[in-house]
Amino acid sequence: MARESESGLPIEPVYGPAELTGWDPDGKLGVPGAYPFTRGVYPTMYTGRPWTMRQYAGFGTAAESNARYRRLIGHGTTGLSVAFDLPTQMGHDSDAPLAHGEVGRVGVAIDSVEDMRVLFDGIPLDRVSTSMTINAPAALLLLMYELVAEEQGIAADLLTGTVQNDVLKEYIARGTYIYPPRPSLRLTADIFRYCAAEIPKWNTISISGYHMAEAGASPVQEIAFTLADGIEYVRTAMAAGMDVDDFAPRLSFFFVARTTLLEEVAKFRAARRIWARVMRDDFGARDPKSLMLRFHTQTAGVELTAQQPEVNLARVTVQALAAVLGGTQSLHTNSYDEAIALPTDSSARLALRTQQVLAYETDVPATVDPFAGSYAVERMTDDVEEAALDLMRKVEDLGGAEAAIVRGFQKAEIERNAYRIARETESGERVVVGVNRFRLDEEEPYQPLRVDPAIEARQAERLAVLRAGRDRGAVDSALDALKRAAEGADNVLYPMKEALRGRATVGEVCGALRQVWGSHTPPDTF
Range of the domain at 168: 3-427
Q: Is residue 433 part of a domain?
A: no
Is there a single domain that holds both residue 474 and residue 401? no
In a domain, 436, yes or no: no
Measure CA 4 to chain center. Answer: 35
Write down the pLDDT at residue 161: 93
Over 60: is that where the pLDDT of 369 sits? yes
Give the tens place of pLDDT for each residue, 472-499.
999 999 999 999 999 999 999 999 999 9
Query: Is 173 contained in some domain?
Result: yes
For residues 22 and 146, state if they share a domain.
yes
Count: domains in the chain:
2
- SS3 letters across 264-312: HHHHHHHHHHHHHHHHHHHCCCCCHHHHCCCEEEEECHHHCCCCCHHHH
pLDDT the model gives residue 25: 57
List pLDDT tens digits, range 399-436. 999 999 999 999 999 999 999 999 999 999 999 999 99
Q: Are residues 373 and 253 in the same domain?
A: yes
Q: Where are the beta strands (DSSP E) in 134-178?
A: 160-163
Tell me the whole-structure pTM to 2 decimals. Answer: 0.91
DSSP 400-460: SHHHHHHHTHHHHHHHHHHHHHHHHHHHTSS--BTTTBS--SSPPP---B---TTHHHHHH
| pLDDT confidence of residue 344 | 86
Asked if the model's pLDDT at residue 22 lies above 50, the reply is: no
385 and 510 in a single domain? The answer is no
438 domain residue, yes or no? no
Let me know whether 479 and 356 are in one domain: no
Looking at the fold, whether 230 and 281 belong to one and the same domain comes out as yes
Residue 450 lies in a domain: no
Whether the pLDDT of residue 447 is over 80: the answer is no
pLDDT at 26: 67
Percent of the chain predicted with pLDDT > 90:
84
pLDDT at 3 over 50: yes
Same domain for 375 and 466: no
Q: What are the beta bridge partners of residue 332? A: 298
pLDDT digits (tens, 9 = 90+) for 206-240: 999 999 999 999 999 999 999 999 999 999 999 99
Residue 1 has pLDDT above 60, yes or no: no
- Same domain? For 304 and 155 the reply is yes
Helices 493-501/506-517 angle, 10° precision: 150
pLDDT of 180 > 60? The answer is yes
pLDDT digits (tens, 9 = 90+) for 313-329: 999 999 999 999 999 99
Backbone angles phi, psi at 69, to 5 degrees: -60, -45
- For 494-525, the pLDDT digits (tens) are 999 999 999 999 999 999 999 999 999 887 65
Q: What is the pLDDT of residues 64-121, one digit of tens each?
A: 999 989 988 888 877 788 999 999 999 999 999 999 999 999 899 999 999 999 999 9
Q: Are 348 and 261 in a shared domain?
A: yes
| Final residue before a domain boundary, out of 406, 427, 448 | 427
Structure confidence at residue 472 (pLDDT)? 97
Confidence label for 442 from pLDDT (cuts 50, 70 and 90): confident
| pLDDT, average across residues 359-374 | 96
86-90 contacts at long range (C-beta below 8 A, 24 or more positions apart): 86/176, 88/134, 88/137, 88/141, 88/506, 89/134, 89/135, 89/136, 89/137, 89/176, 90/136, 90/176, 90/178
pLDDT, tens digit, 9 for 90 and up, residues 292-311: 999 999 999 999 999 999 99
pLDDT reading at 451 higher than 80: no
Mean pLDDT of the chain: 94
Query: Between the CA of residue 27 and those of 37, 41, 291, what are the distances in Å?
Result: 11, 16, 16
Please report, for the chain, how many H helices and E strands are present, in that order. Answer: 19, 11
**What is d(CA 269, CA 370) in angstroms, rounded to the nearest whole number?**
12
At residue 21, the pLDDT reads: 39
For residue 109, the model assigns a pLDDT of 96
